[in-house]
Amino acid sequence: MAYHVVAYNVAKSVAVKSCKNNLKFQLLFSDSDELFYQFKAEKYIYVFQYGMLSFFNMTSEEISEVFKLIKPYAVNFETPEVSEDISITFENEKMAVEFDHIVLPSFDAEMIRLVMLNASQSVALSRYSEITENLLFETNKHTVYLEKKGKLDISGNKLKRFIGKTLNIKNKISENLYIFDSPDVTWENEQLNKLNLGLKQTFDLKDRYRVIHDRVEIIKENLELFKDIMDHKESSKLEWIIIILILVEVVDMFILKML
């Protein structure tokens, strides 16, 4: 029998503490960013602070029920679009990790949690990949205009907001993705560690993270250049204003002397 893990991006963020205080499912693991629940026998829910929800062996009706329960504690909750669907089967003394199918040696909650964690990270990477791709596209429009016209087509205020948006996304990626960190449970369990490494490799998490990180760095470099150009432009304006004021004062003094 094949079971399924599905992961969704449902919100900008989820108040983990509020969920912990109000959801009545059996809590198996928690920290400041995550909650791992047993919904019913052989059914699990994983809640992440950065707006991700993952489910194991749950029907679409049960998932919809959980969405309704979590919506009051979520910021900008919306019908999920980005998702990951992975099938899991169990065979004695066998473990195999493929792109959309995983074989586990036993029905172990920690192994299932690792699959749900990595599936959620994969969905988060897809979301951030789309966001950074759009930011890079917008940045490239300004660089093309700069190349053709020799000036920027963006105001100082819009540039500052663009820089702020980029920095916020960079911070969220750093805070919410633990691509290079292994969960504590893998440190002393060789089998869990092997599974975790296999999942990261199969989902290509590290390489996808590096692509996103490199995009953000390129965007940052471009924005810093835009800011330098903008500062130089403002500085030149100020210099001309000072020169004009001095000339006005000199002309005024000359006229007074002539009179």
Nearest to 47 by CA among 57, 58, 59, 36: 36
User: How many helices (DSSP H) and strands (DSSP E) are in the chain?
Assistant: 6, 10
pLDDT of residue 240: 64
Q: Which of 54, 32, 34, 29 is nearest to 43 (CA)?
A: 54
The full set of domains in the chain, from first to last, is 3-106 (3.30.310), 120-232 (1.20.58)
Q: What is the tens place of the pLDDT at every residue in 75-92?
A: 999 877 658 899 999 999
- Rounded Cα–Cα distance for residues 119 and 44 (Å): 14
pLDDT of amino acid 237 = 66
User: What would the DSSP string read from start to end of 147-203?
Assistant: HHHSS-SS-HHHHHHHHHHHHHHHHHHHHH--TT---GGGSS-HHHHHHHHHHHHHT
pLDDT of residue 185: 80
The residue whose two tokens read 């893998």 is: 186
Taking a C-beta distance cutoff of 8 angstroms, is the pair 73, 15 a contact?
A: yes
Q: pTM score > 0.85 for this model?
A: no
Q: Which residues of the chain have pLDDT under 50?
A: none
Q: What is the pLDDT of residue 182?
A: 75
Sheet of strand 26-30: strand arrangement: 26-30, 34-40, 43-48, 52-56, 3-9, 83-90, 101-104, 96-97
- pLDDT tens, residue by residue, 221-250: 888 888 887 765 665 666 667 777 677 676
